[in-house]
Amino acid sequence: MKGFRFLLSRAVQGVIVMFGVSLLVFFALFLTGDPAALMMAPDSTVAEIDAFREAMGFNDPILVQYGRFLAGVVQGDFGNSLRYQRPALDLLSERLTATGVLALSALLWSSLLGFALGAIAAVRKNKPIDFAIRVISLLGQAVPVFWLALMMIILFSLNLRWLPSSGYGTFQQLIMPSVALGAYYLSAITRLVRASLIETLGENYIRTARAKGLTQWRIVVRHAMRNAMIPVVTLQGMYLASLLGGALVTEIIFAWPGIGRLAVEAIQNRDFPVVQAVVLFAAMVFVIANFLVDVAYTWLNPRIRL
């Protein structure tokens, strides 16, 4: 019952957040002006642009426009994309697979490698290998995604000719975008796993395990890792959602047909309905990911009871 109340309160909070985001995204876009002039041919007359503006409903009072927007959103209707003349939600869902493949693959490899590197660094604390891992992960967090992406294109496509420079459809085409997107997370996860594990390894129960004569790796894998994972899971929940942000840059550079690229092109062209749909979608992913993190906590640490 307590658990159910917790779920309910979380759901209500989620709805409030989504409502807040809808307000923000609508009014922020409204403040930047209307897209009528941009949508029309360059030699359109003022009268033609006005007629178009009126037809699109950009002349109605802002609250009327917001009400119309909200009523649509509740029914899953974000309106038609101004550029594509198709429902914004369709455009988004068409690109969900591409972004999903990219984000999940990035999260997958960066998590696995991050755990391994973090564990090695923690166990070999202050040894040369720990130092090397720390330097690499610091670099990984310092290097911007776009720079890494371009360097990879120049090295692996232009010079070595190992991988296709862009596009979607084959495993080879997935490698560079996935590496570019995951690099930052790899570093973050490595550092966090290392720090968390070092702390855990100093706990009393670990000393007990050692006293029992367990091997170092058995202690790390069986006893320490589970507790060390709590902050890492929080991080990953956040990352899954913010991978969408990283996808903006990665998808543009590698011509990946996903949501990030849709968002950037929509912003550049003032395609309001699409921008709104993408932002609300990202907010929804955030809310859901946070919710899942809360659930995962209780599983990982029985002390945190709902």
CB of 261 to other proteins, least distance (A): 6
- The nearer residue to other proteins, 102 or 201, going by C-beta atoms, is 102
Q: Is 115 in the site for other proteins (CB under 8 A)?
A: no
Q: Is 166 in the site for other proteins (CB under 8 A)?
A: yes
CB of 229 to other proteins, least distance (A): 17
Q: Is the four-CA dihedral 64, 91, 77, 275 of positive or negative sign?
A: negative
Q: Within 13 Å of residue 54, how many CA atoms lie on the same side as its CB?
A: 6
Look at residue 79 and give its three-state secondary structure: coil
Q: Is 91 in the site for other proteins (CB under 8 A)?
A: yes
Q: Is 45 in the site for other proteins (CB under 8 A)?
A: yes
Q: Which of 154, 221, 304, 306 binds other proteins (CB under 8 A)?
A: 154
In whole angstroms, give the CA distance from residue 179 to residue 250. 10
Backbone angles phi, psi at 80, to 5 degrees: -85, 140
Length reported for the chain: 306
Give 247's DSSP letter: H
In whole angstroms, give the CA distance from residue 184 to residue 181. 7
CA-wise closest residue to 166 among 184, 143, 149, 145 = 149
Q: Is 29 in the site for other proteins (CB under 8 A)?
A: no
Tell me which stretch binds other proteins (CB under 8 A): 63-71, 151-159, 223-231, 234-242: 151-159
- 175-234: which residues touch other proteins (CB under 8 A)? none
* DSSP H stretches of helix in 32-144: 36-39, 46-56, 62-74, 88-94, 96-123, 128-142
Tell me which stretch binds other proteins (CB under 8 A): 68-76, 121-129, 148-156, 229-237: 148-156
Q: Which of 20, 67, 144, 169 binds other proteins (CB under 8 A)?
A: 169
Tell me which stretch binds other proteins (CB under 8 A): 59-67, 161-169, 188-196, 219-227: 161-169
CA-wise closest residue to 146 among 259, 13, 246 = 246
Q: Is 303 in the site for other proteins (CB under 8 A)?
A: no
- The nearer residue to other proteins, 6 or 84, going by C-beta atoms, is 84
Beta-bridge mates of residue 24 = none
Note the residues at the interface with other proteins (CB under 8 A).
Answer: 32-33, 37-46, 48-49, 51-52, 55, 81-86, 91, 94-95, 97, 100-101, 104-105, 108, 112, 150, 153-154, 157-158, 161, 164-171, 173-174, 252-255, 257-258, 261-262, 265, 267-270
